[in-house]
Every structure is written in C-alpha cells, then in structure tokens.
Amino acid sequence: MTAEAATRARTTGILPSQALRRAVTDGMIRADGGVPDEIIQPSSIDLRLGRRAWRVRTSFLPGKGVRVADKLARLTMHELDLAEAAVLERGCVYIVELQERLDLPRDMWAKANPKSSTGRLDVFTRLVTDGCESFETVEAGYDGPLYLEIAPRTFSVKAKAGLRLNQLRLWRGRPGTSDSLHRELHQRESLVDPASLEGNEPTIRDGLWVSVDLSGDAYGGLIGYRARRHAPLIDLDLVGHYPVEDFWEPIHANAEKTLILDPNQFYILVSRERIAVPPDSAAEMVAYDTSFGEFRIHYAGFFDPGFGHTSAGGGSGTPAVLEVRSHEVPFEIAHGQRVCRLVYERLIETPETLYGAGIGSHYQGQGLKLSKHFIQPQS
C-alpha cells in the first residue's frame, strides 16, 4: 500500500489542520463571532481567552455532573474583565472562560496543553470543562464551554481577551501508539539526528526518550537559564520586548557537566537530541516521572508535524527546549541524563500546513531559546 493510500485509509488518529477546519464548518468547534483561520495549527487549534475571568481561592475539578459555573459561585474571590488587560499575579489561581466551545460527536475527544511561549514563562495552565474529573482531557461527545485555569508561578503577567495561551488537539477514535510505531518512524524518517546522540542509539521505550544537554558545546558554554526572583511584570502581548538579564540568570557548563536544581526554581534547558516530527505524525512531550528525580519537565507538550523536519525547513532536527521546575529538595542532573519522553501518534491525514517559519512558528530551528517575549541575542 502506498503512503497516499494508507493516509486515505486511516480512520482514526489526530485531526490535522484541514480536518480541524471541517470541524469548525460542521459546528464541532465554535465561538461567538466565528473561529478565525489563524488559530488553526498543523495538528491543533489555539484557544482564545474570553472576557470573563475569576480569581479563585483554590484550583478545582468540577466532578461528574457539576458545572464549572457552580464551583465558581462558591470559590470566586473577585471577577476580572479581560476586555482591558489585567494583571494575573504570581502565586494566584485564575479561571478564564475561553471563547471557543465544543460540540463533539461520540467518536471524537480532545486534549489540551500550554503553548510553548506559555510554558517557557512558567505560566501553569490547565483546561477545565463542565463535569470533568481530570484536567486537560475533553471526553468524547462533550458539548459545552471551555475554561482555562491559569496559575503564574514565576512571573506575574498581564493578559487580555483574545490571547492564546493553550492549544487543543482532537482525536477521532483511540488509535494509541506503540514502540513498534516509534521504531518504524525512526527507520523511515530519523526521529533523532544521529550526530546529536554522541555515538549512542536512541532509546525507545514507551516513547522516544530525551536527555538534557549540559555540555555547553553548542552555545558557547551556556547550558540554560534560571528565572530571577521578583522580576518585573510581563505583558503577554509584547514580543521581542524585554531584556533577558532582567528576568533570567544565565547558567554555564561546569567541568563535571552537571547542574544542581535549586528547590522551587524554574529553569530553561535544552535537549541533547535534535528531534524531528514527520509530516504524517504529531508528538507530545510527557513529563518526567518524579520517581526518577525531584523535578518536572516540559509543561508545553505538543509538537506539531514538521517540527525539526527537513520538509518544513527544520534541517537535521531541532533541539527541544526543556521547561524544568524543581521540587522540594536540591537535585543534581548530569549531561546526557534522560529526563522525559516524546510520544508520537499518527494523524488521520498529512496536514496541509506544517510547523515552520512559513506559518509564523517561533521555534523552528531553535537552540537554547527563551520565549518570544524577550529580546533574542543576535546569532
């Protein structure tokens, strides 16, 4: 069977951009004033903040049969109008009604993740729906509004209606994934640039394992950034605006190629591997199991088709930026230590658009790169 025929025959998998547009046309995804085409990405759709936001006493899950509005009536401290920009303070929890809502058929479900720029600012976001018993997942057949929990953890931020802080990926059916799929994709497409493996074979076990680069070889000795405490406010609308030194402390490699993560600190690091996502697949970075160490990796987990791939101008793979938050005790990590997994799944068909500069993607061909809000150093 040809690749084209296989694509036509695939009835389950992740919806690509053209299928997402059909879902909008069919009313599965809708919003007052319509759903603009620019929020549709190669394998996901950006979700826009609405006007109504609530500062709440605590995070919550509604639970089966309970509406978010019912919980808000009890837990709200005060309401905000995001028609004008409002400050979301570090250490506080907010619920924002999103502009998009869903009316999914019974064979379709969804999952959300923060966008890359959101994760790189340590702004913790989770999707909430009426009746949900877990964050981020939208059950098959859901019909109702969408809400976003926002909890800035390092920087206070200014946000307003229309901003896109998270993204939604839709599945038809539940095809799942397997290590045999990962090996097949790697043999066909080279999911990792061999030159970035330092002579090793990639580790495929419940996904493609990714390790941390603490050598400093690729970035003039720089291995990452540690967020500064008590930094200024960040307006999420401003791109290329803020000086790096006001918000970040650079970290350089040591002789041992190790790094001690300080408790409750936020870091931007980078993967040793240069990764690619084939055009007919999408991937998700899975947070590191804390039984292997006192830290969490990667809030922003979705990788679109074409990320790091030659067909989308990605060269020989692109490093993954790692958003690292340490936990309660100091913990040392070492160069080449495996820190997270990248799980690949099939799309129902190849998207009409791929991740890359052609659609305004900010992080194709990235190295050790902070979020788009900062003035990037000249290469």
Residues of the chain with pLDDT under 70: 1-9, 288-295, 297-300, 311-315, 357-365, 378-379
pLDDT (0 to 100) of residue 379: 47
* DSSP count for the chain of H helices, then E strands: 5, 24
CA distance 90 to 157: 8
pLDDT (0 to 100) of residue 201: 85
Report the length, in residues, of the chain: 379
**All domains in the chain, ordered by first residue:** 3-172 (2.70.40.10), 179-359 (2.70.40.10)
CA distance 175 to 177: 7
Amino acid letter, residue 100: E
- Collapsing DSSP states into helix, strand and coil, what is residue 112? strand
- Collapsing DSSP states into helix, strand and coil, what is residue 308? coil
Please choose, from the candidates 217, 344, 323, the residue with its C-alpha nearest in 3D space to the C-alpha of residue 268: 323
CA distance 363 to 369: 8
Backbone angles phi, psi at 23, to 5 degrees: -65, -35
The tokens describing 366, both together, are 């990235």
Residue carrying the six token digits 């064979």: 107
Please choose, from the candidates 303, 297, 291, the residue with its C-alpha nearest in 3D space to the C-alpha of residue 322: 297
pLDDT (0 to 100) of residue 355: 80
CA distance 325 to 153: 10
Task: Put the strands of the sheet holding 86-88 in their side by side order.
Answer: 86-88, 157-159, 234-235
Q: What's the pTM?
A: 0.92
The tokens describing 72, both together, are 């808000």
pLDDT (0 to 100) of residue 3: 44
What is the 8-class DSSP label of residue 187? H
Q: Which helix or strand (DSSP H or E) is residue 344 part of?
A: strand 338-346
